[in-house]
Structure 1
Amino acid sequence: MKPSKNASFLTIACWLITCLAAPLGAQDINIHSHNDYLQQIPFWEAYASGTASIEADVILRNDTLFVAHEKESIRTGHTLSSLYLEPMVQAKRLQLGSLHPFILLVDFKTEAYATMHQLLKELEPYQELWEDREHPFVKIVISGNRPEKKDYHRYPFPVFFDYQSVEDTESLPLDKIELFSLSFRSFSQWNGKGRLIDSDIVQLKEAIRVAHQFGKPIRFWATPDSKTAWKALHELGVDYINTDHPGAAKSYLSSLQNRLYTHPTPREIYRPTFESDGTDRRVKNVILLIGDGNGLAQLSAAMYANNNQLTLTQLKNLGLIKTQSADDFTTDSAAAGTALASGQKAKNRSIGMHPDGTPAANLPEYLAPYGFNSGIITTDHLTGATPAAFFAHQPERDLTRNIASDLAKSPLSLFIGGGKIDFLDGETIELENLEKSGFILASSLRDLVTQKGAKAGYFASNQGLPKISGGRRDFLPEATKAGIDFLNSKDQPFFLMIESAYIDSGGHANEVGTVINEGIDFDQAVAEAVRFADGDGHTLVLITADHETGGVTIPQGNTADNTVELEFSTEDHTGLMVPVFAYGPHSHKFRGVYENTEIFSKLIKVLELESSR
């Protein structure tokens, strides 16, 4: 019997290897492709997914081993050789995929000795698969109707066996036993949802201990087949995870460590006094904090990783906002920022513009005639979409040069952020225009607070600021305090927008640590704002997001050790509603579910300016 060289067969194989190859470094996750012959493309899908064990049931009929579970399901041409042995040779000869060694677990459905006799005949032409006995490409492991264990030594390399008891362990031919295989249902009736009960865990661990005591790996069959089950079995120490979805299981378990995060140093939170919260006192100042991409799951993850508490989650008045833009179900930051800043829906990518291309007045512009000073603080470039929505009017968010030019023309009294380079490029140096418009450029946050002029700015970096993981440390809460101190020193009402930009970056990159670290850092800025509001008594603090990023869910975690598992459904924004928290006078008026544009209109109303619009 000679291996086939069918061209279309190889085309499919190469395509699968290219599309499904397991990531490097993931081979320590051992997946068993259960009843692999039932897959749409047997062998190749499992091999390309990096599985460590592939199962084929065989039935002996007319001197041929057919791959099937019972005689009634035998299909012409579906033999052990055609579906498995020939493809394995092709993979090895053509150097396809990672060439990781694996087990072909052959489950005998017919009488053991006759089936074994035929198997040895069919293996004979494929000696190249195991010519390297120290590191064979394939090991053949017999399951199902096996010969008596006393006869295991009769069968030559590469034939091994699985063993299906942890009770009858006397005189085991260990050199011929490759692994222990046990029915999960003998230990637990768990359906793969929720968690295993403690007594089941004890029994499963004992079975695993026995197998490992003999120096052998273990597999459970008839296991529940879900992400929760895969994770639970892996954490128990099961060596081969049994599944009908080998690609999905491999991908999930291989990426698990990248989606688990334990926060090493939880931050202290601020506990509000609530003395002014929900009262009818006059609102003098407004502080709007925007966590870019900070949906409910991101906020929850930051809380669970921070000793199960945030300053933000102490607040009592909250609602939800819808985030759709004027021209798309899923907004970008430019349109969302414009909606928050102006109370007007905008097209994606446009900054401070109505859909018809005319400028939309933002809060700093609207409030200036009423004697308000305004400021913006961001961990992004100042020309980034969200901060720009509070001072610029441009049809395209990538018009960085034009956006930078708009800052000097705005009524802002304060800016703090990164991206000084954006104000140096081009024929006109916008830095000079900022100074001509009255901005005193501080050299540090401390220097900024001491400025006596009406307008001040601080460029925290020439390029972008680093993430927390890159060493940014406490810039945002310190900038929040400095910005509040500067504006409060003017003895005029003020509006201040503060943006945490990198929660969004973490969502786009599917980086769990970034989402959580930046979320906790954002909460430290929230604490500064709420602390000021408590001391002032006439400041309304609003905390929200422009949109959600990443489609984040939280399958598992452990609040005892500040560990959270995140799972992402996308690398883009989503249409999920995002929370709004309010603290201070009139905070109860921000409850409910409403459009993002209503943040603007509600603010104008509580400031008692609506009739003058």
Structure 2
Amino acid sequence: MLKIFSLSLCLLLSIFQLAAQDSKTFQLHSHNDYLQTVPFWTAYSAGATSIEVDVILQDGKLMAAHEVESINPKRTIESLYLDPIAEGLKSGVISKIDFHLLVDLKTSAYPTLEVLLESMKDYSDILFSQENPEGLKLIISGNRPKPEDYEKYPAWMFFDYQSKVLSEDLPWEKIGMVSLSFRQFSIWNGKGRMVEDQRKAVQDFIDLVHSFDKLVRFWGSPDSKSAWKAFYNMGEDYINTDHPIAAAEYLSKLGENVYQNPALQDVYQPKFEVDGAKTPVENVILLIGDGNGLAQISSALFSNGNQLNLTQLKNMGFVKTQAADDFTTDSAAGATAYATGEKTNNRALGVDPAGKALENLPDVLDGYGFSSGIITTDQLTGATPASFYAHHPERDDSDQIAAYLPKSKLDLFIGGGGAKFSSEMENLHEAGFTMVENLGETSAERIGYFVANDALPKKLEGRGDYLLESTAFALDFLAKKKTPFFLMVEAANIDSGGHENSSSMIVSEMLDFDQAIAEVIQFADQNPGTLVIITADHETGGVSIPQGDIASSTVELAYHSDDHTGIMVPIFAYGAHADEFRGVYENTEVFHKIMKLVKMNIE
């Protein structure tokens, strides 16, 4: 039974290792690997290419231990390493040897090596040689013979050279790596950044070792994400860690988590002439960045030369996003709160927790003479846009949701998902909607534009300036009506980036959103009486920003989750009565603040 369990474990670990190796461009040294709960296999599963075992010669056996007091008779180099490797190769769990063992001798070099040589005769078929160039190599560390004796040992045995002094006359062909204590160079604890002169000393030594075409490792080095990344960036060949699986997971995702913005966007400078003015509110523009938290905004800011259109604004606050039935909202409940001023259950669109229909902003504002429109980078049956026209308890019932669009008070809708409305086309025409195929000039009173039959592509997949152009068209179309208007613009795929833990998607989608924000701010400057509100329905991904570089437009994002979180989201306002949106409040208050300002015009 134990053998079957061990083999199953090895198979699972092997699968994990192969997945990790597919994406990694780093090498790990599993420090004191014999102390792991599952020695060897933990390191192997993480794709470690250097695996360390301390060895003590006692009673003719090579015990895996750091000191005599910790010796366990069952834990030998054979039982923990050589036998599993041989069995793994035989069973196919190990397809090839792409790692070595670093054997740290804790007892005198020469007698310990004599026993090691004798023990290795039983494993000759797996060892490196001219005839077996892909065989197992052992690198001897700790107590070592004199360098002049290295050549006396077999082809599979190499040595760990430990000195700052390197020269051409060393026996380089028998040196497997160069290792030194990190404390010879730096006192850095792995938090923040290394002091520059210490960092340079480490880098210089790495470069020196590389000049002899050899690999380098530091022991006693900090063992944290910041440290792993720093050593990776400096080119340390074997990153020393006691946590190989965690290190492999972090480093393998660096390519996804780090994003460099290829081109900076210009930023519009608001005039602030109408910002906070007590002029009557004639137009309300609500921009919702789905899933867009403070870290998402910050990542775009740092990737764009430390400036955004959004961050020019001065009136801001925070919104609490909880749903009626859950601490963490979904987009349906979050958008319904903005659209109706009422909390509802997750998954519900435009209805209260009991399922009763709630009037949304386009419905209510129609009674005050407002035109209205919605734009989204999502499908139009998506939770956020649907909250502004539908009344249904389940967000995934696309057919039922689509049926509400012809009945809505909307004058304009632009988004994807046209296929979901195929059965509603006649009803849309009867409701007075002219379905257009582009955003050209039109004299129609009500316009519908399905940009795609299904989902729109992401920004990095070629969506182009769709959101900016749609926003500009909508502003022009609604302004020409010569009536007050309400417009909701959703940037949906910031949320997708959070769900996928994709830094590139988050930054690119937020920067795309920021271009639409600039268009709206400029419109507000040109049209006093316009109120602009920019917020999010919730945060997605539990995103943080551990590192970045503003000069190179690069950020590293880290993720706590692949789902929504309950953290407050920022809200920004510009234009007429923008100062009313300062503070911390519930998401429902956005609706009530809007209505308060609209009603002031009547009174």
TM-score, normalized by length of structure 2?
0.97
The answer to whether the aligner puts 1:34 opposite 2:39 as a matched pair is: no
RMSD of aligned residue pairs (Cα, Å)? 1.7
1:361-510 → structure 2 map (5 Å cutoff): 361-424=359-422, 429-447=423-441, 450-451=442-443, 453-510=444-501
Residue in 2 that maps onto 1:153 = 151
Hey, what's the Cα distance between the residues in 2 that align with 1:168 and 1:536?
72
Q: Tell me which residue corresponds to 1:55.
A: 52
Give the letter for the 2:522 counterpart: R
Q: CA deviation at 1:564?
A: 1.1
CA distance in structure 2 between the aligned counterparts of 1:98 and 1:546, rounded to whole angstroms: 49
TM-score (norm 1): 0.95
Partner of 2:267: 269
Query: Which one-letter code corresponds to 1:120 in the other structure?
Result: L
Please report how far the alpha carbon of residue 460 of structure 1 lies from its aligned counterpart in structure 2 after TM superposition.
1.4
Q: Which amino acid aligns with 2:382?
A: G
Residue pair 1:30, 1:240 contacting (<8 A) in 2 also: yes
Q: Which amino acid aligns with 1:257?
A: G
Deviation at 1:27, TM superposition (A): 4.8
Pick from 542, 553, 572 the counterpart of residue 562 of structure 1: 553
Q: How does 1:42-441 map to 2 (within 5 A)?
A: 42-97=39-94, 99-130=96-127, 133=130, 135-167=133-165, 169=167, 171-424=169-422, 429-441=423-435
1:528 equivalent among 519, 544, 552: 519
Question: Retained in 2: the 8 A contact 1:20–1:247?
Answer: no
The counterpart of 2:576, out of the listed 573, 581, 585, is 585
Relative to structure 1, is the Cα distance of residues 344 and 610 closer, same or farther in structure 2, using a 3 angstrom cutoff?
farther
Superposed CA offset, 1:408-429 (max 9, x none): 00111111111111111xxxx2
Q: Secondary structure at the match of 1:446?
A: coil
Supply the AA of the counterpart residue of 1:350: A
Which residue does 1:23 correspond to in 2? Answer: 20
Q: Structure 2: which 5+ residue stretches go unaligned? A: none
Gaps of 5+ in 1: none
Q: Deviations over 1:62-96 (max 9, x none)?
A: 11111111111112311111111111112211111
Q: Secondary structure at the match of 2:180?
A: strand
SS of residue paired to 2:353: coil
CA distance in 1, matches of 2:511, 2:262: 12
CA distance in 1, matches of 2:57, 2:46: 29
Q: Which amino acid counterpart does residue 478 of structure 1 have in structure 2?
A: E
Identity score, percent: 52
Q: How many residues of Structure 1 are paired with residues of Structure 2 in the alignment?
A: 602
The answer to whether the 8 Å contact 1:181/1:221 transfers is yes
1:543 aligned onto 2:541 = no
Could you list the per-position Cα deviations for residues 325-354 of structure 1 after superposition, in whole angstroms to 9, with x for gaps in the alignment?
111222111111111111111111111111
Code of the aligned partner of 2:430: K
- Whether the 8 Å CA contact 2:16–2:46 is kept in 1: the answer is no
Cα separation, partners in 2 of 1:100 and 1:126, compared to 1, 3 Å: closer
- CA contact under 8 A between 1:130 and 1:139: conserved in structure 2? yes
The residue type paired with residue 203 of structure 1 is: A
Q: Which amino acid aligns with 2:35?
A: L
Structure 1 residue 19: Cα displacement:
4.6
Change (3 A) 1:100 1:541: farther
Q: Deviations over 1:115-166 (max 9, x none)?
A: 1111111211112222564533421000001111111111112111010013
Superposed displacement of residue 578, structure 1: 0.9
Distance 2:465 2:4 in 1: 61
Describe the superposition over 1:33-88 as per-residue Cα deviations: whole angstroms up to 9, x where unpaired. 00111111111010011001000111111111111111111123111111111111
The alpha-carbon deviation at position 481 of structure 1 amounts to 1.0
- Counterpart residue type for residue 535 of structure 1: Q
Q: Given that residues 128 and 137 in structure 2 are in contact (C-alpha distance below 8 angstroms), is that contact kept between their aligned partners in structure 1?
A: no
8 A Cα contact 1:160 1:177, kept in partner? yes
CA contact (8 A) 1:105 1:142 kept: yes
Q: Secondary structure at the match of 2:440?
A: helix
Contact 1:22/1:48 (8 A) holds in 2: no
